[in-house]
Structure 1
Amino acid sequence: MDQKAKRKLTILVDMDDTIEQLLKAWLKCLNEKYGRDVKCEEVVDWDITKVYPGLTREQVYGEINLPGFWGKVEPVPGAVEALKHFLDSGHKVYIVTATPYQSVPEKMDDLLFKYFPYLSWENVIITSSKQLVHGDVLIDDGVHNLENGNFEKILITAPYNKDYDAEANGMTRVSNWKEIVSEVDKLAGL
């Protein structure tokens, strides 16, 4: 049974490649469609189009707007249990995502609410300006979302941020959800 936290936190959590494996599913679809063999480790820049020379931005980004795409995306190992742990410990959890409006219904129904049934629309904030959202901690893989925010910053390591100096920029770097839970529990006094 989870302990109640000494300090109740408002935990902000990114969605793409933080709680779910967008990149893995996206590359699989693009590779199958265009006969490529791009691997997640090769995506060392936030702009995924750089690993698909010859494809237009519309071809690359259009894939995630196709019907049925979000049903192919799976959770990051440990994320489902971690968010449940945070809620059971008395914290507030909000998914903060910059999802384009046309993808929102399918992404939430076929992915978020399917794998995280204890979350609802009351737990979802859609914005590309995450620094404006008030919370105690933000967990994200995008350094641009963490920079200049007025919250504790937890950066999930990804090929496109591995060379970023998280510590020098006031962030805690983690590699998995076990490490994230440990960091959040420390912040909460557990």
Structure 2
Amino acid sequence: MAKKRIAIDMDGVMADLNQHYCDWYFERTGERVTKEQLNGVPETTGFPQEGIVHHFLHTPGFFRTAPVMEGSQRVILELMEHYEVFIVSAAVEFPQSLVEKIDWLKEHFPFISWKNVVFCGLKTIVKADYMIDDYDKNLRYFEGERLLFTAPHNVNYQDYKRYDTWAEVAKFFAAERAPVAQQLA
């Protein structure tokens, strides 16, 4: 039996870009902004100096130095034992991020083959059984099971199953596998 396929977004799901925005903003302005203060506002907005955070997305080193989302490495490694896992990022929007994202994956997720990394524009081309993403624009047209990973910009989304942590994602997939395991027993 072929393994089911999971498409996993990078930014905001594997890489904690929201914390990274806050850290970079503080380092450059001396002003503290917390992720909680960003709840309900569009990504890269909500900072006192508007526009500066969007500029970070075009700054060399930004994507390369993003912190890893807690629990993501362990859970993705576990998922790879039972599923075909692809990392899918709309990276071509920020062309300078391409090499940085590859290097970031090599450092933090060395167990993911380059063959399982997809950089694209629109994710409407993605065909998988599950997609884990933090954006409605990526989940809306996806035909499989949609898992919304919580981020400040999506706290008001109501149309998806929401997952706040990688531990919750692991629990979801363990429950998904349980009926199959029972059928095989």
TM-score range, shorter chain: 0.7 to 0.9
Residue deviations 1:143-185 (CA, integer Å, cap 9, x gap): 22111210100111222222221xxx3x321111111112123
Q: What amino acid maps onto 1:149 in structure 2? A: F
- TM-score w.r.t. length of structure 1: 0.83
Aligned residues of 1:142 and 1:155 also touching (Cα < 8 A): yes
Residue number in structure 2 paired with 1:172: 161
Structure 1, unpaired ranges of 5+ = 1-5
Residue number in structure 2 paired with 1:3: none
Aligned residues of 1:131 and 1:150 also touching (Cα < 8 A): no
Find the aligned partners of 2:138 and 2:63 in 1 and give their Cα distance.
22
1:80 is displaced (CA, Å) by 0.3
SS in 2 for 1:106: helix
1:77 corresponds, among 61, 70, 76, to 70
Q: Is structure 2 residue 94 aligned with structure 1 residue 93?
A: no
- TM-score w.r.t. length of structure 2: 0.85
Find the aligned partners of 1:187 and 1:148 in 2 and give their Cα distance.
22
In structure 2, do the counterparts of structure 1 residues 72 and 155 end up closer, same or farther at CA, with 3 Å as the change threshold?
same
Q: Is structure 2 residue 21 aligned with structure 1 residue 32?
A: no
Q: What amino acid maps onto 1:162 in structure 2? A: V
Q: Is structure 2 residue 155 aligned with structure 1 residue 162?
A: yes
Aligned residues of 1:21 and 1:74 also touching (Cα < 8 A): yes
SS in 2 for 1:101: coil
Aligned residues of 1:11 and 1:138 also touching (Cα < 8 A): yes
Q: Is structure 2 residue 40 aligned with structure 1 residue 48?
A: no
Q: What amino acid maps onto 1:102 in structure 2? A: Q
Structure 2, unpaired ranges of 5+ = none
1:53 is displaced (CA, Å) by 4.3
Equivalenced residue count is: 176
Residue deviations 1:35-58 (CA, integer Å, cap 9, x gap): 321111122222323x134433xx
Find the aligned partners of 2:125 and 2:174 in 1 and give their Cα distance.
24
Q: Please tell me the root mean square deviation across aligned C-alpha atoms, in Å.
A: 1.9
Residue number in structure 2 paired with 1:15: 10
Aligned residues of 2:132 and 2:146 also touching (Cα < 8 A): yes
Residue deviations 1:92-135 (CA, integer Å, cap 9, x gap): 111111122211101220x2111100113211111232232000
SS in 1 for 2:57: helix
Find the aligned partners of 1:69 and 1:42 in 2 and give their Cα distance.
21
Aligned residues of 2:68 and 2:108 also touching (Cα < 8 A): yes
Find the aligned partners of 1:54 and 1:46 in 2 and give their Cα distance.
15
Q: What amino acid maps onto 1:177 in structure 2? A: W
2:101 corresponds, among 104, 107, 114, to 107
